[in-house]
Structures are given as structure tokens and as C-alpha cells.
Amino acid sequence: MVISRNAAEFVVAFVTGGLGALVCYSALQNGVAWGASGPEPGYFPFYVGCLIILGSAGTAVQALWRSGAAEVFADGHNIRTVAAFFVPLVVLVALCQWLGLYIAMALYLFFATWLGAKLRPFNAFLVAAITTAANFVIFEILFTVPLLKGPVLEYFGIY
């Protein structure tokens, strides 16, 4: 699978254009006029949204204009490498929601360095354990910042 640069340009321009439209829509609800004593709350956001749409359209047209170059944005290999890094990251964040940051972090680091970086399981375990412990010491003990603990740590009396 190959994603051409132009396709990527279009997708991104479409997304930013959509965001611009969303900004305009929301600004309309705040009032976009220039009142007697200066602009209403929606005035600036509205034109900011318009400029986003304008810029996005310009980008899309520009991409169309020089569409001769069949530049590649990402090929199959790229996509796989990025996904191999990004998907576990999303899983990590999802796990954080209900396992707490520390356990999710340890699991993620273990698997990412074991399967991703091809460390030996024991070394991967060491990396995970040391990083998690270091974070625990820095945040919980040094700076008393409570990170999300999750039910498991709470059960063991770690708040």
C-alpha cells in the first residue's frame, strides 16, 4: 500500500478545513459583529475559522496544481513501522484509563522493548521496572504528584 503525497495533502487540507468550519460554526453562536465598543466574542474566532478554510483550500489547490510529481507520502513499510509504534501507544493510553499509569507504563515498556526493540525478555523487564520505579520515586515521593493509580495499586494500599 502506498499513500501518495497528494492524497495526504488533500486529507490534511480537508481535516484542517473541517476544523475551520467548526470554528466558524461555534463562533457564530457567540456573535461575530463588530459592536459599538469593539468586537463581539465570536468576531476573531469567526475570521480565524475563515482563514483556516481559505488556507486549507489554497493548500489543496496548490497540491492539485503541482500534481505531476508522484511523490510518496508513505509506503507499506513506512505505514507498518509507524503503526507498530503508534498502535501500542494508543493501547497504553487506553490501558491507563483503568489500570492506572504505572502498571500500564510497565506493561507497555516491557512489550515495546521486548517485541519492538528485540531486547531479551529479562533486559526488557529491567528497562520497564527501572523506568516505572524511577517515575514512581520522582512523582509520588519527590514531588508528591499523584498519578492515576488504578484499582490494582489501590488494592495493595498504594494511593
User: C-beta of 140: minimal distance to another protein in Å?
Assistant: 9
User: C-beta of 82: minimal distance to another protein in Å?
Assistant: 5
Nearest C-alpha neighbor of 41 from the set 51, 28, 50: 28
Site residue total, another protein (CB under 8 A)? 73
Residue 27, classified by CB atoms within 10 Å of its CB into exposed (0-12), middle (13-18) or buried (19+), is buried
Shorter beta-carbon distance to another protein: residue 121 or 154: 154
Using CB under 8 A as the binding rule, the residues of this chain from 57 to 86 that contact another protein are 58-59, 62, 73-74, 78, 81-82, 85-86
In Å, what is the CA distance from 66 to each residue of 9, 59, 63, 107?
12, 11, 6, 46
Using CB under 8 A as the binding rule, the residues of this chain from 4 to 33 that contact another protein are 5, 8-9, 12, 16, 19-20, 23, 26-27, 30
* b (16+ CB within 10 A) / e for 111-132: ebbbeeeebeeeebbebbeebb
User: C-beta of 57: minimal distance to another protein in Å?
Assistant: 8
Q: Is 145 in the site for another protein (CB under 8 A)?
A: yes
